[in-house]
Structure 1
Amino acid sequence: MVQLDCIQEVQVSCTWNLSTLATFAPLLGEMSNLQGLRLSHVHVSAFKKQEHDHVVQITSQFRRLGHLRDLHLESPSFLEGCLDQMLRCLKSPLDSLSITKCWLRDSDLTHLSQSPDISQLKSLDLSGVSMTDFRPELLQVLLEKVAATLQDLDLDVCGITDSQLEACLPALSRCSQLRSVSLCGNLLSTAGMEKLLRHTAVLPCLRQERYPAPQESYRPRGVLLEARLAQLRAQLLEILRDLGHPRIIWISLSPCPRCGEDVCHHMEPIVYSCPAPA
């Protein structure tokens, strides 16, 4: 028989109804030494009252997980508008948090930035969380909260616009431990990209950078202008040369013309190497 308090990692990668997850939740609560939890594709019913009860059943078990460090939730639609319920139940600071491919509200991001349990976060993945209609300062406040420890940031396909990016750039430039950042699939112009490159140039640990092709690379209906993209890549290289630090950035098309995915890794990187001393 499995000793539940000996389990350190749990991954549920099949599609469960919220009611099934709620039934499983008491067992989860008995895994007192659990360090990593991964849940994906939890189906939500249309019955709001019953749904709320299930969410309470699930999130309340987090109070019993005092060793939880890594939390990964893919498509957790049941958390929209009630992320605070889960955050209030966390008992220790997280090292890694991933909430992806779902809808969240302004209030959810506000509660996330106010949670004391993200103050030591090393990895944050909010890819696929639509932020287009969020107030620009929300992401800024969140990054300020994790700036001292954050090492990996993934904000792919969040619908982030120039104004939202510009609001959070000062906070991003203070993430001194940042090693990787990915912003593929967002709605950034060449001017926005230049500001991004200049602000991230000060980050000493940054080694992996993945950014979207500027919006000027596309026709209004999203058709790629290959000649224009080549010009913009050359322009971005000039910006890197002006900044004067060796750097490699990857530019992603969205959607990818080869595979149709929202994030494309088929492009050649833009590489700037400092000239060798004479």
Structure 2
Amino acid sequence: MSADPLKENAQSCQDKCEEDIPKSSPFDFVIKQFQGKKSSPGKRKEQPSAIRKFFEGFDFVKSEVKARRETEETEINTSRADDQNEKEDLSIEDGPSHLISEAESPTGKQRFNQFMQKLGKKPNSKNLDLNNCALSATDVTELASLLPFLPELEEISLSWNGGIGGSLKALTVQLHHVNLLKVLRLNNCRLTAEDVTSLGEAFEIVPQLEELDLSWNSNIGGKLSLLTKKLQKGCKIRFLKITDCNLTAKDGESLAQILNVIPNLEVLDLSINKHIGCSMKIIAQDLKNVPGLKQLNLHMCGLKQDSLQALDTALQHLAELRKLDISGNKEIGGGFKDSAAHLANLKNLEVLDLHQCCVTEEDMTILSQVIPLLSSLQELNLSSNKNVGVSSDPLLGRLRFLPKLKSVAISNCCLREESFSSLAEAALHLPELEILDLSWNKCVGGNLKLLLEALKLATEIQVLRLSSCNLVTEDLALLILLTQDGHLARLQKLDLSYNDNVSDEGWAIFFKGLAVFKELSELDVSLRPSSCRDCGMWFSELLAALTKLPALAELGMQRWVLSESQRKRLESFNQDNKRSIRFDC
């Protein structure tokens, strides 16, 4: 019986196929493939023969194909791994240049841009302004990871972000990436002792730091030494601000010790630290180590008469001082008679703030002799010192010897008509006067005409404050008349609040002529808290004037009674006129 034709054909095809398969085991085939030349991932694969296509469903062919595919994939992965190892070897050889290229890579910049956009800020490679952004500890960590991509950064401002307290170390350990940093502001961040310590440690890696502002961090009190002991001699800090940080007398001693290592200090602000006055003697002794100091702010520092005497001794070493603020220290009253000898030598002093110091009549005698000698003085604040107005010493009259004065604040000084008249005469010799504050001096009411000639000459005046001055209708009419004659043309801020004695007719006259104040940006006509009056008589005059005051941005009119229709007209005014005036009603 003849053989089955189908079996013979199958056997013949199988024999022919086996001629194409190597006469060795599958393992020998794989070894030969490893020993051969590596295949390129992009190399075109060999097309299968017709016979191989025919038998591709057989198991032994599937095994051979599978083995070959696995071999090719192994070769490709091996080739990629070799390439990656070569790149890593090159990066190790390149060293720092690899870090620079990574920092400047688009990916780093893109991450930084995304971080800033998330916070609603515009990216700036030199000035990082993240004030009041509700930052969290997580944000600080993310920001720290971005510092390597900001080698040109010069300013970091993270103020008013209370959520970052306790997490500052994550940022400070990365500050070596921004060794050009000059300004670091951390106001009101709820800094902890650990934060202060990490800041101190960072001083070694930010050698160019010039400004450090830690104000309004109450937990710094009692821990300032954690920061100051890390400062190195020759430190470049020029601005040091530690306002309202609950500093103690011990902190004052720590501060005094570093004054000899920051010789370039120009601004020292210790304001609103009521316990620092106890160590002011020690601080004053070391102020001689910062002869270039230009600004010293000691507002509300608990200074006493002996503190003032120590400070006066230090002034002889501070010839470059431009601003001296010792306001809000009520216990220094009576100490000027023995502590103003060196004040007169401050020929470069431009700002002197003595408001709320409880100066006595004896103090006024000394100040009347000293202040007129400060030939460079531009700003003088004597407010809330009642003896300024009642003293017989002619301090206000002698202001004529200070022709550079731009700002005079004599609010709440119990001025009498005689002292007010002396001021009015002196004002004739103050051609550069820009700010005049006479608020809470009742004698001004009905006597504003005494200032008439001075206000005519004060072509630069921009701010006039006459709050609670017992003004009358004639006073407001005078102001309008001055402006109509071309005077007070540059007036920007006018405070007429708490002048309840002005009649409705007086307010109507004022608002009718208000449009002549072309540069006016702020106006306050509010009544006293105990008052309540209808504004119907002059409301239409006000609305008419508003359309002619292009610079007006804020109008205070508290306790004036507005009808429903009047309120709606105010609410629609901005929309109808494309304005943005803030009505404080």
Q: Give the TM-score category using the shorter length.
A: 0.7 to 0.9
Within 1, Cα distance between the matches of 2:325 and 2:243?
14
Q: Which amino acid aligns with 1:26?
A: V
Task: Verify the 8 A CA contact 2:308 2:335 in the aligned structure 1.
Answer: yes
Q: Which amino acid aligns with 1:25?
A: T
Task: Verify the 8 A CA contact 2:186 2:214 in the aligned structure 1.
Answer: yes
Within 1, Cα distance between the matches of 2:384 and 2:346?
32
Three-state SS of the structure 1 residue aligned to 2:156 is strand
Using the TM superposition, give the Cα deviation of residue 176 of structure 1 relative to its aligned residue in structure 2, in angstroms. 0.5
Kindly provide the CA deviation profile for residues 113-172 of structure 1, in whole angstroms up to 9, marking residues without a partner as x.
Answer: 2214322211111111223661441232242222x1111111112121222111221112
Q: What are the ranges of 5 or more consecutive residues in structure 2 without an aligned counterpart?
A: 1-108, 113-148, 361-382, 413-434, 439-585
Q: Which amino acid aligns with 1:20?
A: S
Q: 1:55 aligns with which of 176, 196, 201?
A: 196
Within 2, Cα distance between the matches of 1:74 and 1:197?
30
Within 2, Cα distance between the matches of 1:250 and 1:194?
23
Q: 1:154 aligns with which of 280, 287, 297?
A: 297
Q: How does 1:259-278 map to 2 (within 5 A)?
A: 267-268=437-438
Using the TM superposition, give the Cα deviation of residue 84 of structure 1 relative to its aligned residue in structure 2, in angstroms. 2.4
Q: 2:157 aligns with which of 11, 26, 35?
A: 11
Structure 1 residues 225 and 203, CA gap change in structure 2 (3 angstroms): closer
Using the TM superposition, give the Cα deviation of residue 86 of structure 1 relative to its aligned residue in structure 2, in angstroms. 1.6
Q: Which amino acid aligns with 1:15?
A: N
Say yes or no: does 1:41 pair with 2:188.
Answer: yes
Structure 1 residues 4 and 176, CA gap change in structure 2 (3 angstroms): same
Within 1, Cα distance between the matches of 2:301 and 2:410?
14
Task: Verify the 8 A CA contact 2:247 2:273 in the aligned structure 1.
Answer: yes
Quote the RMSD (CA, aligned, Å): 3.4
Q: How does 1:16-165 map to 2 (within 5 A)?
A: 16=162, 17-43=164-190, 51-91=192-232, 92-115=235-258, 116-131=260-275, 134-146=278-290, 148-165=291-308
Within 2, Cα distance between the matches of 1:68 and 1:14?
21
Task: State which drifts further: 28-37 or 78-87.
Answer: 78-87
Q: Which amino acid aligns with 1:60?
A: E
Within 2, Cα distance between the matches of 1:236 and 1:130?
33
Kindly provide the CA deviation profile for residues 25-73 of structure 1, in whole angstroms up to 9, marking residues without a partner as x.
Answer: 22344321100111111225xxxxxx54443333312221010011111
Within 2, Cα distance between the matches of 1:204 and 1:154?
18
Three-state SS of the structure 2 residue aligned to 1:118 is coil
Task: Verify the 8 A CA contact 1:39 1:72 in the aligned structure 2.
Answer: yes
Within 2, Cα distance between the matches of 1:78 and 1:225?
31
TM-score (norm 1): 0.73
Q: 1:177 aligns with which of 320, 333, 338?
A: 320
Using the TM superposition, give the Cα deviation of residue 185 of structure 1 relative to its aligned residue in structure 2, in angstroms. 1.1
Q: How does 1:243-262 map to 2 (within 5 A)?
A: 246=402
Within 2, Cα distance between the matches of 1:211 and 1:250?
12
Structure 1 residues 7 and 245, CA gap change in structure 2 (3 angstroms): same
Using the TM superposition, give the Cα deviation of residue 208 of structure 1 relative to its aligned residue in structure 2, in angstroms. 1.4
Q: Which amino acid aligns with 1:77?
A: S
- Could you say which structure has the higher helix fraction? 2
Three-state SS of the structure 2 residue aligned to 1:78 is helix
Task: Verify the 8 A CA contact 1:112 1:142 in the aligned structure 2.
Answer: no
Q: 1:203 maps to what in 2?
A: 346
Q: Which has the higher contact order (CA 8 A, sep 6+)?
A: 1
Three-state SS of the structure 2 residue aligned to 1:37 is strand
Kindly provide the CA deviation profile for residues 184-208 of structure 1, in whole angstroms up to 9, marking residues without a partner as x.
Answer: 2112455324455442111121121
Task: Verify the 8 A CA contact 1:209 1:250 in the aligned structure 2.
Answer: no
Three-state SS of the structure 1 residue aligned to 2:245 is coil
Q: How does 1:196-235 map to 2 (within 5 A)?
A: 196-215=339-358, 228-232=387-391, 235=393
Three-state SS of the structure 2 residue aligned to 1:43 is coil
TM-score (norm 2): 0.37
Task: Verify the 8 A CA contact 2:185 2:212 in the aligned structure 1.
Answer: yes
Within 2, Cα distance between the matches of 1:252 and 1:29?
50
Q: How many residues align?
A: 243
Q: Which amino acid aligns with 1:21?
A: L
Using the TM superposition, give the Cα deviation of residue 102 of structure 1 relative to its aligned residue in structure 2, in angstroms. 1.4
Structure 1 residues 11 and 227, CA gap change in structure 2 (3 angstroms): closer
Q: 1:275 maps to what in 2?
A: none
- Could you say which structure has the higher strand fraction? 1
Task: Verify the 8 A CA contact 1:188 1:212 in the aligned structure 2.
Answer: no
Within 2, Cα distance between the matches of 1:126 and 1:4?
32
Q: Which amino acid aligns with 1:38?
A: R
Within 2, Cα distance between the matches of 1:111 and 1:226?
33
